[in-house]
Structure 1
Amino acid sequence: MTDILASVPRVPEAVAAALYTAHPSGSLGWMVWSVVLGVVSVAAGLVSRRLLLRWLRKPFRSLYQGVTLRRAERISYGLLRTVILWVSAAVFFAVGAVIVIAVTPEFGPTRTTSLVLLIGMTLYLVLRDLTVNVFQPESPELRLLPIDDATAVHMTRELLLVFAVSIVFVGISVCFAWFKIDPDAHAVMRIVASLVASILMGAYVLSHRKVVAVLIRGNAPRPGLLRKVLAGTWHILAIVYLAATTASNIATILLRGGFLVGPILGPIVAFVVAIALFGVCVILIDRRFRAQQADLHRASGGTAAMPPEALPMPAVERAAAVAEAAAMMEDDEDEEEEEEAAAEEVLEAESAPVAETPAEVLAEGEEIETPAAPLVNPVTIWQLRWKGLGEHLAAILAAIVGVMTLLAVWGRLSLREGTVQFVGYLAVLFATYALYQIVRTWIDGKIAEEEPGPGHGQSEDGMGTGSTRLATLLPLLRNLLLVSIASIGGMIVLSGLGVNVGPLFAGAGVVGLAVGFGAQTLIRDIFSGAFFLADDAFRKGEYIDVGGVMGSVEKISVRSFQLRHQNGPLHTVPFGDIKRLTNYSRDWVVMKLPLRLEYGTDVEQVRKLIKKLGQELLEDPEVGPMFLQPLKSQGVVQMEDSAMILRVKFMTRPGDQFVTRRHVYMRINELFEQEGIRFASRQVTVRIADDADAHHNYTPEERRQAALGAVQPILEAEAQKSE
């Protein structure tokens, strides 16, 4: 190390000596010939590249002519265009290399210099094609990143400058490796090249840290914890990686090792592989769920011919992101608190004018409860959850493949036993997580299909119509399957790590036996619940009576269920405490309505009127389909002091009787008023006899109090009955 540091002042002299001694003639004439040959080979390669691109331009454009540029089309356009450009870069290198090798049949400094120049130019073209297709500085309609044109141009130019300068310095150090240069001076050149590349990339990261932070946060009103942490620390992680890579390179150089290219190109290669894989997955997912996306967009008030993903970024959303990015570039000296406040303002500006649709929430792979639009089919929302789940799993898979690619470029991934086991553990964990999410989403979708549609469910009086039996049992099955999947996946990983899982099962059996003796009530509740559900005694949403506790079944767990009373209270009832269960929401219900009529009313006339009214109600388009049996009269069922009680009845499905009751009462009142039939009012006759022995009469106040005392019990009984 001391020798290398001491050789720093001698680097120019060592470089000059290496250039003179590179050619047997001892002159610098070969350099002129190398530059000329390099320029000619590069020019020939560029011409070949241009001709190839011109030949492919027409068929490439025909693929997307007249096609709406949705997200899938924009991604496929970028991927295919990148592949074509990289093929043209390969043609560029092949043509140039053929010229160099043909002109210089023998290996020497001229061929070395020309080939290094050609390789550096090819690498720059590859990186340039990738950068341009990511930022799309000249094609805003194809840009996937929510940044404005100026920011895209600025970021593209700066990144290309970083690549160009880094390639020049690294290329020079690689070129001199073939010359007879002093090893210490060459080590200094490699250290300088590594420092220059890392410093330039670090400056680029710090310069655009806020723009990238906004992109990582996304446009969700409440980004997840991982997004927040990554948005605030991504530049720190990048700087730490660059510093570690530079330190590793310098240490390798000081130890007389070679120049490590893997740590430098590793992130770029991993990024390309991960983005390409994720892009292909997104294309397949978008095309699979395009119909559901269009249905959701139509239901939300948009145009039927253009799904949301086909629309450009909303103007307000793009303007907010653009304004934030511009402000970030102009003010690099803000405090951290001001940075956070600015980011929050951008997110509020993005979320306030443009309501986030359920599809946008699902695309982020996060579980946020969003109220669905009234016109959107719940099944459509569930199908779009598959879209969000697919993108979520695709992002995880792309991240895993990117990490594995990075390790492979570093040289840390091989076919050794430990590496294969590590990859196997990752595959098991990913498969377990994917299966967990797939089962949960599938069962949730089946529950959504079984749920009653709009206009069904709980009635106005709190009497639920009930879900299907499948919708009642599926939540319990879902929990059982999810626990089983997580347990099996964990056992596989533990077994692969060398943990003997046999004693775990034995211990679980002992613990289960102990719990069984100590928690007999719990076991009774669980088994009772299993038999009640097997007997289909009740379902979710049905109105039941359990020993005086009444309400609609709101939630069912393993040991208990919850009843929501129509007045609001929530009752939790263990299955083991059920002695008798009455279900008011099964099959049909008969509603009987008493009518108080005056004495002297023609009962036969009333019977005929009620029968005719029943037929009219059956033909009513609103309530007619609710009747299972028409309204009919049962005649006089009771005689009271002030009225005779007639009763009418009808049959409906559970939950519909309250709506039909309102219509029946209203129509009977109108009918009786037209026919002159009068309802009897309640009367209580109180006779107060004078006390003959007292030889005086009661005063009016005493008579009033006596009458009130006679009526009060009747009023209290009626009030209690009405409750």
Structure 2
Amino acid sequence: MNIETTINKMKKLLLDEELWIDSGIIILKVFFIILLAGIVVKIGKIVIQKLFEVRMKAPLRYSERRQNTLLKLLQNGLAYIVYFAAILAVLSALTIDVTGLLAGAGVLGLAIGFGAQNLVRDVITGFFIIFEDQFSVGDYVRIGAAEGTVEEIGLRTTKLSGLNGEIHIFPNGTIVEVVNFSLNNSIAIVDVSVAYETDIPRAEELIREFLMELPDKYEQLVKLPVLLGVQNLAASEVVMRITAETMPMQHFAIARIIRRDLKIFMDEHGIEIPYPKMVMYQKKTGSVDAGIGDPVKNDDKGKI
């Protein structure tokens, strides 16, 4: 008897025309919602990409790395928002109470927010670091006492690679002050020492001739290096200073190159680089003036 009742109910259910019509309408609604969400996401991503391409062609030059980061961030954000709205629309089409679900999600989100304030702060700070282009991947920065190249920027943490290979990981919410060395061109400062016996005007003229050849040899140089003149009169040397504007973070390499090439150039042109000298005195014996004698000279000056 129970089997026959069950079979009759199934037949009635399968032959219910209104049920099939309602089910078909729901399926069509769900299909239309998913299709519409996909179209909106695709068109939205194309529009965002076109806007960024137009922005890159503007007179103001923007960082390509920053534009790519923001492009992906906005496209992903658009996809999350549209798909979340699509899920709510599908649930509503399935006659599920969305209002109660949203209320429960709001209470749950509030509870999570109170328990994860640091996480929320890290995410918000990370978003503004990326959006404001405070620094990008590949930049050389100083955060607190740590200094190095930015390896990764996330919404929660930032990673720096130090000069010795160490990795510094900072929660974004703790980043208060950042020194970015890669935003502007760098300045290489090279101090050159010559002996007091050197003809300073001739040395300056030769050094300027040497500097004229550098921009054609090294593409890291932005401008022609400048000889500022005599920087200091030390105990045994005259110090002259050279400055060279380079591409960001290339000043260390250029300074080493200038020192090497300049040493070779000065040797070729007979400009003496000072080195420590000492004069030795020998006491006179059998004389009233035994305390002080004549200097013993080695190469006229007692050089050691």
- Normalising by the residue count of structure 2, what TM-score does the alignment of the two structures yield? 0.67
1:525 aligns with one of 113, 122, 126 = 122
Where 2:184 maps in the other structure, the secondary structure is coil
Where 1:649 maps in the other structure, the secondary structure is strand
1:496 aligns with one of 87, 93, 108 = 93
| Residues 376-525 of structure 1: pairs in structure 2 closer than 5 A | 416-433=21-38, 467-525=64-122
**Residue 185 of structure 2 contacts residue 249 of structure 2 at CA under 8 Å; is this kept in 1?**
no
Q: Structure 1 residues 668 and 523 mapped into 2: Cα distance closer, same or farther (>3 Å)?
A: same
**Residue 70 of structure 2 contacts residue 131 of structure 2 at CA under 8 Å; is this kept in 1?**
no
| Residues 302-317 of structure 1: pairs in structure 2 closer than 5 A | none
Q: Deviations over 1:306-332 (max 9, x none)?
A: xxxxxxxxxxxxxxxxxxxxxxxxxxx
Q: Structure 1 residues 631 and 565 mapped into 2: Cα distance closer, same or farther (>3 Å)?
A: same
**Residue 125 of structure 2 contacts residue 155 of structure 2 at CA under 8 Å; is this kept in 1?**
no
- Inter-partner Cα distance in structure 1 for 2:274 and 2:53: 50
Deviation, 1:583, is: 0.8
Deviation, 1:581, is: 1.1
User: What residue is the counterpart of 1:649 in the other structure?
Assistant: 243
- Inter-partner Cα distance in structure 1 for 2:51 and 2:254: 32
Where 2:223 maps in the other structure, the secondary structure is strand
Deviation, 1:639, is: 5.1
Where 1:630 maps in the other structure, the secondary structure is coil
User: What residue is the counterpart of 1:664 in the other structure?
Assistant: 258
Q: Which residue type is aligned with residue 150 of structure 2?
A: V
Larger radius of gyration: 1
Q: Structure 1 residues 447 and 684 mapped into 2: Cα distance closer, same or farther (>3 Å)?
A: farther
User: What residue is the counterpart of 2:214 in the other structure?
Assistant: 617
Deviation, 1:633, is: 1.8
Whether 1:556 aligns to 2:153 is yes
Q: Which residue type is aligned with residue 419 of structure 1?
A: G
- Inter-partner Cα distance in structure 2 for 1:616 and 1:583: 31
- Inter-partner Cα distance in structure 1 for 2:192 and 2:156: 45
Deviation, 1:638, is: 4.1
- Inter-partner Cα distance in structure 1 for 2:184 and 2:21: 66
**Residue 189 of structure 2 contacts residue 243 of structure 2 at CA under 8 Å; is this kept in 1?**
yes
- Inter-partner Cα distance in structure 2 for 1:586 and 1:660: 18
1:544 aligns with one of 141, 155, 175 = 141
Deviation, 1:546, is: 0.7
Structure 1 alignment gaps of length 5 or more:
1-414, 452-465, 688-723
Deviation, 1:585, is: 0.8
Q: Which residue type is aligned with residue 652 of structure 1?
A: T
Whether 1:629 aligns to 2:220 is no
Q: Which residue type is aligned with residue 623 of structure 1?
A: Y
Q: Structure 1 residues 553 and 473 mapped into 2: Cα distance closer, same or farther (>3 Å)?
A: farther
- Inter-partner Cα distance in structure 2 for 1:448 and 1:548: 38
- Inter-partner Cα distance in structure 1 for 2:92 and 2:165: 50
**Residue 450 of structure 1 contacts residue 467 of structure 1 at CA under 8 Å; is this kept in 2?**
no
- Inter-partner Cα distance in structure 1 for 2:174 and 2:187: 29
Q: Structure 1 residues 433 and 568 mapped into 2: Cα distance closer, same or farther (>3 Å)?
A: farther
Q: Structure 1 residues 646 and 556 mapped into 2: Cα distance closer, same or farther (>3 Å)?
A: same
Where 2:118 maps in the other structure, the secondary structure is helix
User: What residue is the counterpart of 1:197 in the other structure?
Assistant: none
**Residue 467 of structure 1 contacts residue 541 of structure 1 at CA under 8 Å; is this kept in 2?**
no
- Inter-partner Cα distance in structure 2 for 1:667 and 1:479: 51
Deviation, 1:677, is: 1.6
1:572 aligns with one of 149, 169, 174 = 169
Q: Structure 1 residues 485 and 561 mapped into 2: Cα distance closer, same or farther (>3 Å)?
A: farther
Deviation, 1:526, is: 3.4
Q: Which residue type is aligned with residue 239 of structure 2?
A: I
Percentage identity across aligned positions?
Answer: 28
| Residues 261-280 of structure 1: pairs in structure 2 closer than 5 A | none
Q: Which residue type is aligned with residue 25 of structure 2?
A: V
Higher helix share: 1
Larger relative contact order, structure 1 or 2 (CA cutoff 8 Å, min sep 6)? 2
**Residue 614 of structure 1 contacts residue 632 of structure 1 at CA under 8 Å; is this kept in 2?**
yes
Q: Which residue type is aligned with residue 188 of structure 2?
A: M
Aligned residues: 254
**Residue 472 of structure 1 contacts residue 540 of structure 1 at CA under 8 Å; is this kept in 2?**
no
Whether 1:604 aligns to 2:191 is no
Cα RMSD over matched residues? 3.7
Q: Structure 1 residues 674 and 492 mapped into 2: Cα distance closer, same or farther (>3 Å)?
A: same
Where 1:582 maps in the other structure, the secondary structure is strand
**Residue 610 of structure 1 contacts residue 631 of structure 1 at CA under 8 Å; is this kept in 2?**
no
- Inter-partner Cα distance in structure 2 for 1:651 and 1:500: 66
- Inter-partner Cα distance in structure 2 for 1:483 and 1:498: 23
- Inter-partner Cα distance in structure 2 for 1:662 and 1:446: 43
Deviation, 1:673, is: 2.3
- Inter-partner Cα distance in structure 1 for 2:148 and 2:40: 37
Q: Which residue type is aligned with residue 551 of structure 1?
A: G
Where 1:627 maps in the other structure, the secondary structure is coil
- Normalising by the residue count of structure 1, what TM-score does the alignment of the two structures yield? 0.31
- Inter-partner Cα distance in structure 2 for 1:654 and 1:446: 28
**Residue 221 of structure 2 contacts residue 246 of structure 2 at CA under 8 Å; is this kept in 1?**
yes
Where 1:571 maps in the other structure, the secondary structure is strand
Q: Structure 1 residues 422 and 627 mapped into 2: Cα distance closer, same or farther (>3 Å)?
A: same
Q: Which residue type is aligned with residue 512 of structure 1?
A: G
**Residue 181 of structure 2 contacts residue 249 of structure 2 at CA under 8 Å; is this kept in 1?**
no
Where 2:169 maps in the other structure, the secondary structure is strand
- Inter-partner Cα distance in structure 2 for 1:666 and 1:555: 35
User: What residue is the counterpart of 1:331 in the other structure?
Assistant: none
Q: Deviations over 1:521-564 (max 9, x none)?
A: 23333343444445442233321111122222333222332223
Q: Deviations over 1:147-192 (max 9, x none)?
A: xxxxxxxxxxxxxxxxxxxxxxxxxxxxxxxxxxxxxxxxxxxxxx
Q: Deviations over 1:469-524 (max 9, x none)?
A: 32343333233223223312222222211222222222232223223322232333
Deviation, 1:592, is: 0.6
- Inter-partner Cα distance in structure 1 for 2:53 and 2:249: 21
- Inter-partner Cα distance in structure 1 for 2:224 and 2:68: 31
**Residue 529 of structure 1 contacts residue 558 of structure 1 at CA under 8 Å; is this kept in 2?**
yes
Deviation, 1:597, is: 3.2
